[in-house]
Amino acid sequence: MLEGSILQKLETSHRQSKRPIRFGVYFKNTLVALCHALEDHILSHDDSPLVITAFQQGKWYLQEADRYADIAKIAKQVVIMAAPDSGWAEHPTSQLPNVDLVGLKPEDAVSEEWHLIILSPKYTAMVLCQEISHADYGVAGQPEADLERKFYGLWTFEPELVKETAQIAISHINKYKPELAKKLTEYQNGMRSHLATSEDLGAVVSRVVDYLQTGQKNTTHQILDRNLVSNEIQAFLRMAQIMDAADINNPMAASEVVAITETICQLLDLPAWQIKRSRLAALLHRLDPLQRAESLLPAGSAHRYQDDAPNIAPSCPLVPGAQVLRTMPRLRAVAQIITHQTESWDGTGEPANLAGDEIPLESRILALAADFQYRVNQKKKAANLGQEEIFAQALEECKREQSTRFDPKLVETLSLLVMGLQQGLELPLMTAKVTSGMWLLDSRLESEGKTGLEVGSH
């Protein structure tokens, strides 16, 4: 990590914090897809964002100058950091009234970085990377194909992290252009940032995933393909994290539901691939677009299954809200799990009025785990109760809904879990390692086959 770079300054500021930053390695083709997705989102939304970029040595990215002329028509302010000999100064884009060019000294570490920082009133986003050193490439050396070059860094939608990075970038700009830095600080302080809604983030995430998938279609290199897929998963995980953080009353919901879900799966002795799929569904279960899903099936419809696959629960195209996940084939089974978590054991739930074992098992587990976590969280804040009593009351409330809302066999399994919790069992909380999404997937997650398994068969 280059001394004095924006990336290095950000890492240093978080080194001793409770939330150290996890960086990842990205191929250039992935970064191109990410940046083009975020840039095109600006072009399609009149949000007047503040855009700060760093184009490495600049000469490789002069072809982006026309694109940034279009971005400047929408953005409040565009700042481009690049080497003086990059050609940017001679391009008409640099002469636009709301575009400022910062010519970096050759020895400046930021001239080796690739950044895109976006501060919009409706969302935040950034890509923050620097190319790995020749030594890091190892004996194979730097790849001949430009798109296979590797970069170290991160990308995120997380508001506080993006704002902090923007401040670091503005501080760096201050060394070259103090008046510009002052103006940018005023812009940032004066920007009324609204809490990003699921619609705002969903639009960005959908575009990012679409561009990454397009990148997959254009490459036959397996390593590049896996890097793109990993970042598609990361996009959803980042969105889920922000949705969780936005809920000040229950910000740990995802990680706690994951712990409960995984333990129930283990008590049922489910296979590893199914536990992994349930874990990913639990991490993503609160994505708001999915929670407002409405069924397209007519009430009382008897045609709830595909004629050629009567054992498969209705697929997610029936539920418009689930499309945010179904854009990625590997997550279709997970989208199905999340969609049908709102079904009820007695058939009165949504979106497809499934009943009993018609409901995918993972959906039944997720519904119970999420409800139990919510009840426990509410009781921790509402009453001065001990842990044992909190768990007991939450379990009792779930029991009242067994055979109506919840699978009675799963409520029995939850009772075993609660017994362990009351005796001191601690469930390890898990957070998503968003810099490496592939660990959450295996080939079984791509299956569109039956997800409902009989609890009694294990």
Three-state SS string across 263-285, please?
HHHHHCCCCHHHHHHHHHHHHHC
Q: Among candidates 206, 157, 219, 220, which has minimal Cα distance to 37? A: 206
H helix or E strand, kind and range, residue 115: strand 113-119
- Average pLDDT over all residues of the chain: 77
pLDDT confidence bin for 289, thresholds 50/70/90: very low
Tokens standing for residue 236: 């959803």
CATH number of 251-457: 1.10.3210.10
In 3D, which of 37, 283, 56 has the Cα closest to residue 153? 56
The predicted structure's pLDDT at residue 356? 94
Q: pLDDT at position 435, please? A: 40
Question: At residue 291, does pLDDT exceed 90?
Answer: no
- How many CB atoms lie under 10 A from the CB of residue 93? 20
State which H helix or E strand residue 101 sits in: strand 99-103
Contacts of 96 (CB under 8 A, 6+ apart): 69, 72, 78
- Of 53-57, 265-269, 319-323, which one has max mean pLDDT? 265-269
Distance of CA 368 to the CA centre of its chain: 24
Helix (H) / strand (E) element for 317: namely none
Q: Which of 168-182, 222-236, 248-262 has the lowest mean pLDDT?
A: 222-236
**Quick one: pLDDT band at residue 261, thresholds 50, 70, 90?**
very high
CATH value of 6-243 in 1.10.3470, 3.30.870, 3.30.110, 3.40.50: 3.30.870
Q: How many contiguous H segments (helices) and E segments (strands) does the chain have?
A: 15, 7
Pairing type for strands 113-119 and 124-131 reads antiparallel
Q: In whole angstroms, give the CA distance from residue 180 to residue 186.
A: 10
Both tokens of residue 55?
Answer: 């184009």
230 token code pair: 């990993």
Model pTM score: 0.67
The arithmetic mean of pLDDT across residues 48-74, rounded, is 81
What residue ranges of the chain are covered by domains with CATH 1.10.3210.10?
251-457
pLDDT tens for 102-146 read: 988 888 999 888 899 999 888 888 999 988 877 777 777 777 777
Q: What is the mean pLDDT of residues 215-225?
A: 56
Q: Please state whether beta strands 99-103 and 50-55 pair in parallel, antiparallel, or not at all (unpaired).
A: unpaired
Task: Return phi, psi of residue 178, to 5°.
Answer: -60, -40
**The pLDDT of residue 316:** 43
What is the Cα–Cα distance from 241 to 313, expressed in whole angstroms?
28
Express the helix, strand and coil content of the chain in percent, nearest 5 each.
Answer: 55, 10, 35
Q: Where in the chain is the domain with CATH 3.30.870?
A: 6-243
Cα dihedral 13, 19, 22, 28 sign? negative
